[in-house]
Structure formats: C-alpha cells, structure tokens
C-alpha cells in the first residue's frame, strides 16, 4: 500500500453562513429575533450569543476581553455566556453577532420533569441541578426540600415540582434534570427467574471467559497480552480490598486500590460484581491453569471501589475527579460496568463530564456499558431501539453492547421465552426460541440498543456478555447467588453488558499495546484506539437468524445501533497485512482539509475509519456534537463515498467509517474536512484516521 497526503486550508470557510436555529431540549428549535433584548427588563445573568458566520477563535477572545464568560456551546454556532444586561447589549452590536438572547428559565428544565403539567406541581422529584462553576446553591437552597449531595457545581436534591421554575430563574443555574440512580450493568439469575445455587457446571471448552470469541488467542501467540498497559476500573470493588491478600488470579496484577464511593472506607468487594469485572480485564488465570483469564492478562490494574456503605449501593463520585485519580496512576483506559438505566440515550450532565475530561486528556479512553434495557415490547421479533444508558450515551467514551458467548453448558441455559418476563420482553420468534449463549454471532437480547436521543450511533462495539466465567471473590459479604451460577471455588458465571465491557477494556489494552508497537509512538490518542477497534471489528450482519424479510437481528451492515461497528476481533488487528494509522494531534480548524492518497490492488475491501474526541456538549442542548469533521472517499472511478451508510455528510457522529467491500484497483483519495470547529483545542480539532487496504 502506498500512501501520501496533502494539507490545505479553504479560505471560503471564512464566508460560510452559520445556522439561524438554536437547538434546546426544552423549547425545541428556536429562531430568535435579532432584537431579542429589546423587551428584557429583568437581567437573567445568562445569555446565548449566536454568530452570523462560523465561529472563529479571535471572535470568542473578543467577547472575553469585553468581560463575557463563555460557558458552553449551543448549536447552531452559539455560546451560552455569563454577562449582565449592559454587556449583553454591547455584544449585540458586534459585527459578527447575529443575535443575543436571554437564557430563559424555560430552557433550563428537562421536559420530563414537567411532563404532567400543573397536576404535578405538588409532586416531589429528585433532580440534579447544574450550576455555573463559580457559583453555589446558597441563594436558593431554601427552595429545595432536602439536599442529598452537593459538590462544586452539582447539587442532587429533592424538590417540589412547582419550585423547579423558581430555581431555574436563578442566574447560577444552567440546567435541571432528573436524577437517575446508578446501578451496575449485570443481571442476576433471580432477575431472569433462575436459581443460581443450582447452576453449577465446570466446563472446559475454552470459551468460558469469552476471550476466545474475540480471537484473543491469536494476539497472545504474537506476544500481545496487554503487557506494559494499565487499566483502571470503577465498580463494587475487588476481593477483600487488600493487595497483600488478594485471590491468586490478582496477585501481582494490582498496582493500587482506591475507595471512591460515598462514605466508603474500603475498595473491597461486598458484592462479586467488581471482582468478576476485574478478572475479565486482567485476571491471570492462575487458578484455572490459564483457561479462564482476562483479555489483557499481562496488564496491571487500578482498582476503584465505588461501594457506599451509607447507601448500600455503588455511588460514583464526580467522573472527572475519579478519572484524574486513575490518570495520575498511569491508567489510560478506564472500565465502567455501570450506568443510569432507562435514561434512553439522553445527553446529560454526567455524559458532559465524561466528554470534557476526555477532551482535555486526549490520550484517555473511558469505556462504558451500554445497559441491559433491551426488550422487544413492539413484539416484532426485533429488539427495540433507543435504550442505551448514560454515561454510555456520551460522545467520546467507547460504549459496549453484549453479543453472545458460545457456551452450551453451564450458567443459564434456557429459551428466552422461559426466562422471567421472557414472554413479555422476548416472546416473539425468532427471539423466543433462542438461548443466551448458543451462537457467537448473535446479540444478547437484553443488550441496550441505540441510537442516542440526538441520533448518534451507540454502542460502538460489542463483546461477549452471556454466561461469562470470571473471578469469584472471598469477601465475607459476597453472595455467589447474585451470579448466573458457580463454576467452582474460584470462578462464577455472570451476564450483562457489565461483562462485555471489561472484556472490551482488556481488549483496548491489547489494542494500545499493538498501536504503540506499530507506530513507535510513546502515546496514542483515545480516538486512534477507538478507530482501530472499530475498523478491525467483525461485522455480525445479519446476525444469528440470517437474512429475513422482516426484522433481521442486524438491520444493516455496520455501523448500526445494535452492534455498532461490530464485535471485537483481535486476530484481525494483529494479522491484517496493510493497516495505516494516522494520529493527527494538531488537528484541523474550521475550513481546513487533509487529504490522503492510497493505492489499492482491488484484492481486498478498502476501509477507512475516522474518529475524534469532541468538545463536551451542553446538557440543555438537543444536539451533542460540537465540532464537525467530515470523512469522504473518492474512488478510482471518481465516485464519492460517504460514511456510516449515508449518501451525504454525517453531521451527528464523531466516529465515521466507510467500507468499500468490492474495491477496485487504483487510487483512493481519503478526505477529512473540518466543516465547523467552534470549540477546538487551540482552535483545532484533533482526530485519528485508520485505513485498512
């Protein structure tokens, strides 16, 4: 493969017109009047400034010199700012400003909080209130019935619905949303209607851990097992929380442990979940003679116990603080098998926190479970879409769905229709007669599907998440009956996107090890890791049920909202003879273009993936994408190919892929264009490009 590239800036971008619509979750799409400040009497303290043309850094700097504080981006081509009315009037007169609009209280409240109208005004709801970073809730705490947690700009409180509007009037308040309690993303045997105490089977097929389905053995043969990598995980903890007394599979595997849960004093695991998760990442397998080990058994772990003794549940701290602790410990991959169920793909304050940390630390990859809300309530034999959980609905994280492991004995072996609520949730063929782990090309019925609420593709990747065997802890409070059955004294069966996520996190450690070896770099971006695992993933289309006139398991070839870009495949990563990696840290500013030229002999598909770690979106906006980079390919015959199955540019996702399965011999031109970068790093958006030829 021959490759060359050119870089150019398009001056025409300076004259591109910005949008005239402002996109909010509350109030919908608004086209504000250009004299929107004329009737403003009370000073709201917060305003939205929209540009006439595309945003440039020098113009943002001009706002700040005049005294405005830029808070976050509002699509299209606008920023939420902190200012008084006099300054807002001055900004309205700037040559590049189209309109300055007050940030009204009605734009600050998640619509679901007031869905019942006046009949809900006396109801009490638990909410998260997001404040300006320089503020606190002292001026309006009297409007809250009780404060459950308060940290910097985040307040979790019980509030009477009628008081929400008074809280929203406060100039310190940016957004108010439903508080959805966090839970781990595993499913117990009891939840599926099975008795875990009777589910005992010590098989030795080689598929128990799930790594064989991902073709990890081939990577191990070539010396790639995660060695030199550090993976952090936040969960219920690990074993007894003492490095000196860890079970054999973790001796020498753990660098450090942290108790990070609310009121938690130990990183021990009183559940089983965290220990099982850790085993799937980097358990050594010593207790099974290497049969059951983590995907990255050569890596080291940073254990973060989120168990709260006060609330008897997992309670994550502020994500940025937790990520920073792991980052300082050397971890560049962070595994999270938990989330907010039934959040339906919303972009909320927690997703924005995850995106912000990753944007500021471009070499850090957070991995999250998609959730276990997959159901066929429409009763058409296909799992319904739109159920992915937060923070898995964030843009920059790698979100993991669950495909099936291949295990015909052990764990739970029942038809889906025979599970608890199975007739209601999965009772229509071909789902009803299928099992949990009989076909590795199938999807787990419970795995949450995308898209997100604003239409982004999620999950990005899938991995085995049914009847997974991994480590069993020795904590005195741990209950093995919370599993899918006992394998033996050292291991348990479990299932859920909780199990697919650590297997993928371990795989990402292997991906990072391979990238460092192949590129010779001392560090690689999270975007490059994501693009690499996506382009080498196995497309499961059409799924285990094959092509069907109606409701095939995978509706289209990748990417789609069931499998994302496919199932992790480490053999394709290490064996592919011609992959080109481009980690473009300098990035592109608005109007700039980078072109790459590749020669193909036409003997293989021509595939290209572009990914980037985007600036955080605003929780109050109904579109999460901020910076818009566009991928296209021009083939030897002059045909233009667009990403993600589209016939035009994709202005929704920050990962784009083009698969030309029947490639012709000749020259392919790959183009990455910065359509709009209103909030880049030093004015530019870094990106990664991976080409498989």
How confident is the model at residue 74, as a pLDDT?
A: 97
* pLDDT one-digit tens code per residue, 543-589: 999 876 456 789 999 999 999 999 999 999 999 878 999 999 999 99
Write the pLDDT tens digit of every residue in 610-649.
999 999 999 999 999 999 999 999 999 999 999 999 999 9
What's the pLDDT score for residue 47?
96
66 or 262, greater pLDDT: 66
Q: What angle do CA 172, 156, 125 make, to 5 degrees?
A: 105
Beta strand 29-30 pairing with 22-23:
antiparallel
Region of 223 on the Ramachandran plot (φ > 0 left; ψ -120 to 50 alpha; else beta): left
Same fold, 17-105 and 183-521: no
pLDDT at 289: 96
pLDDT digits (tens, 9 = 90+) for 69-103: 999 999 999 999 999 999 999 999 999 999 999 99
Over 80: is that where the pLDDT of 219 sits?
yes
The answer as to CATH 3.30.70 being correct for domain 17-105 is yes
d(CA 397, CA 17): 31
Query: Model-level pTM greater than 0.75?
Result: yes
What integer pLDDT is reported at residue 1 of this predicted model?
46
Lowest mean pLDDT: which of 304-313, 480-489, 603-612, 677-686? 304-313
Calculate what percentage of the chain has a pLDDT beyond 90.
84
pLDDT at residue 15 greater than cutoff 50: no
∠ CA 347-506-291, rounded to 5°: 140
Residue with tokens 């409180």: 157
Residue located via tokens 């940073």: 302
Task: Convert the pLDDT of each residue in 128-158 to its tens digit.
Answer: 999 998 889 999 999 999 998 888 789 999 9
SS3 176: strand
CA distances from 44 to 61, 101, 131, 159 (A): 23, 10, 14, 22
pLDDT on residue 195: 84
Is it true that the peptide bond before 391 is cis, omega within 30 degrees of 0?
yes
13: pLDDT strictly greater than 80: no
| 201-213: pLDDT as tens digits | 889 999 999 999 9
Q: Grade residue 651 by pLDDT with cuts at 50, 70 and 90.
A: very high
Instruction: Just give the CATH number of 183-521.
Output: 3.40.50.200
pLDDT at 286 over 90: yes
CATH number of 3-8+574-692: 2.60.120.380
- More confident site: 551 or 323: 323
Render pLDDT for 166-200 as a digit per residue (tens, 0 to 9).
999 999 999 999 999 999 999 988 899 988 877 77
**What pLDDT is recorded for position 11?**
36
Helix, coil or strand: residue 611 = strand
Domain spans, the chain: 3-8+574-692, 17-105, 111-178, 183-521
500 has pLDDT over 50: yes
In the prediction, which pLDDT does 122 show?
84
Q: Domain spanning 111-178 has what CATH number?
A: 3.30.70
Res 426 pLDDT > 50: yes
DSSP class of residue 562? T
Element spanning 516, H or E: helix 497-519
Parallel, antiparallel, or unpaired: how do β-strands 124-131 and 398-403 relate? unpaired
Backbone φ, ψ for residue 50 (5° rounding): -110, 140
At residue 160, the pLDDT reads 94
Closest CA to 364 of 462, 519, 229: 229
| Pair 605, 663: CB distance under 8 Å | yes
User: What integer pLDDT is reported at residue 27 of this predicted model?
Assistant: 82
CA-to-CA distance for 277 and 550, rounded, in angstroms? 36
Contact assessment for residue 155 and residue 137, using Cβ atoms and an 8 Å cutoff: yes
DSSP 467-490: SEEEE----TT--GGGSSEE-SSS
Q: Which residues pair with 594 in a beta bridge?
A: 7, 672
- Percentage of the chain beyond pLDDT 70 is 96
Please write the tens of the pLDDT for every residue from 386-418. 999 999 999 999 999 999 999 999 999 999 999
> What gap in Å lies between CA 514 and CA 357, rounded to an integer?
25
pLDDT score for 338: 97
Among 234, 247, 186, 681, residue whose Cα is nearest residue 488: 247
Neighbouring residues of 258: CB distance < 8 A, sequence distance ≥ 6: 267, 302, 303, 304, 305, 325
**Comparing C-alpha atoms, which of 659, 455, 465 is closest to residue 567?**
465
Answer whether residue 12 shows pLDDT above 50: no
Ramachandran quadrant class, 15 (left: phi over 0; alpha: psi -120 to 50; beta: rest):
alpha
For residues 40 and 544, the model is more confident at: 544
pLDDT of residue 113 exceeding 60: yes
Q: Is the pLDDT of residue 5 over 70?
A: no
Determine the pLDDT at residue 535: 98
pLDDT score for 119: 56
| Per-residue pLDDT, 196 | 80
d(CA 200, CA 489): 11
Q: What is the pLDDT of residues 332-357, one digit of tens each?
A: 999 999 999 999 999 999 999 999 99
């Amino acid at each position: 493969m021959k490759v060359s590239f050119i870089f150019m800036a398009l001056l025409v971008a300076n004259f591109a017109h910005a949008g005239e619509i402002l996109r909010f979750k509350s109030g919908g799409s608004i086209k504000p009047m250009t004299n929107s400040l004329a009737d403003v009497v009370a000073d709201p303290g917060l305003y939205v400034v929209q540009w006439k043309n595309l945003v440039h850094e020098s113009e943002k700097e001009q706002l700040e010199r005049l005294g405005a504080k830029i808070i976050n981006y509002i699509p299209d081509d606008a920023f939420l700012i902190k200012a008084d009315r006099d300054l807002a009037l001055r900004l309205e007169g700037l040559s590049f400003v189209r309109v300055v609009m007050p940030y009204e209280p009605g734009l600050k409240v998640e619509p679901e909080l007031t869905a019942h109208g006046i009949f809900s005004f006396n109801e009490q709801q638990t909410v998260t209130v997001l404040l300006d970073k320089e503020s606190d809730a002292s001026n309006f705490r009297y409007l809250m019935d009780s404060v459950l947690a308060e940290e910097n700009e985040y307040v979790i409180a019980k509030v009477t619905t009628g008081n929400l509007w008074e809280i929203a009037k406060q100039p310190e308040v940016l957004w108010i949303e439903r508080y959805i309690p966090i839970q781990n993303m595993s499913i117990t045997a009891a939840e599926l209607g099975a008795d875990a105490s009777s589910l005992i089977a010590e098989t030795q097929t080689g598929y128990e851990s799930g790594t064989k389905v991902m073709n990890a053995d081939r990577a191990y043969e070539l010396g790639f097992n995660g060695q030199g990598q550090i993976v952090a995980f936040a969960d219920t903890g690990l074993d007894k929380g003492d490095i000196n007394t860890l079970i054999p599979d973790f001796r020498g595997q753990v660098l450090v442990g942290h108790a990070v849960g609310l009121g938690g004093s130990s990183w021990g695991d009183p559940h089983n979940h965290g220990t099982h998760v850790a085993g799937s990442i980097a358990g050594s397998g010593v207790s099974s003679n290497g049969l059951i080990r983590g995907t990255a058994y050569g890596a080291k772990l940073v254990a973060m116990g989120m168990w709260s003794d006060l609330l008897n549940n997992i309670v994550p701290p502020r994500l940025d603080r937790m990520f920073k602790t792991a980052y300082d410990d050397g971890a560049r991959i962070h595994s999270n098998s938990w989330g907010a169920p039934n959040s339906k793909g919303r972009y909320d304050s927690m997703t924005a926190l995850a995106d912000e940390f990753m944007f500021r630390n471009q070499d850090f990859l957070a991995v999250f479970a998609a959730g276990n809300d997959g159901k066929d309530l429409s009763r058409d034999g296909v799992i319904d879409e739109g159920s992915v959980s937060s923070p898995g609905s964030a843009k920059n994280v790698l979100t993991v769905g669950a495909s099936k492991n291949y295990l015909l004995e052990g764990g739970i072996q029942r038809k889906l229709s025979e599970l608890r609520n199975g007739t209601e949730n999965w009772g229509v063929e071909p789902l009803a007669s299928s099992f949990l782990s009989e076909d590795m090309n199938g999807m787990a019925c419970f795995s949450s599907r995308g898209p997100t609420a604003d239409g982004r593709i999620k999950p990005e990747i899938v991995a085995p998440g049914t009847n997974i065997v991994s480590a069993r802890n020795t904590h005195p409070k741990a209950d093995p009956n919370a599993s899918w059955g006992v394998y033996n004294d050292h291991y348990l069966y479990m299932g859920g996107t909780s199990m697919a996520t650590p297997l993928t996190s371990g795989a990402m450690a292997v991906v990072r090890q391979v990238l460092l070896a192949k590129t010779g770099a001392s560090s690689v971006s999270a975007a490059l890791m994501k693009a690499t695992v996506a382009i080498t993933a196995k497309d499961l289309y059409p799924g285990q049920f094959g092509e069907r006139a109606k409701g095939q398991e995978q509706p289209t070839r990748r990417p789609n909202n069931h499998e994302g870009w496919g199932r992790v495949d480490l053999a394709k990563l290490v064996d592919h003879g011609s992959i080109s990696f481009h980690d473009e840290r300098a990035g592109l500013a608005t109007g700039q273009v980078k072109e790459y030229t590749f020669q193909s002999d036409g003997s293989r598909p021509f595939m290209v993936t572009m990914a980037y770690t985007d600036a955080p979106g605003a929780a109050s906006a109904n579109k999460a994408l901020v910076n818009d980079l566009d991928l296209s390919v021009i083939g030897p015959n002059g045909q233009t190919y667009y990403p993600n199955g589209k016939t035009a540019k994709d202005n929704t996702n920050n990962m784009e892929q083009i698969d030309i399965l029947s490639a012709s011999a000749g020259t392919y031109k790959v183009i990455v264009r910065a359509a709009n970068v209103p909030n880049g790093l030093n004015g530019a958006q870094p990106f990664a490009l991976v080409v498989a030829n």
